[in-house]
Amino acid sequence: MIGIAAILYQSPGYWTQPYHTSALSGQACVDELIQGHPDRIYNKPGMRLHVFLTFVANLRALGGLERY
Calpha distance 60→56 (Å, rounded): 6
Sorted by sequence, the CB contacts under 8 Å of residue 41 that are 6+ apart come out as 33, 34, 47, 48, 49, 52
Are 20 and 29 in contact, with CB atoms under 8 Å apart?
Answer: no
Flag whether pLDDT at 40 surpasses 70. Answer: yes
pLDDT digits (tens, 9 = 90+) for 10-32: 776 666 656 667 788 888 888 88
Supply angle C-alpha 59, 62, 63, rounded to 5: 85
pTM for the predicted model, two decimal places: 0.56
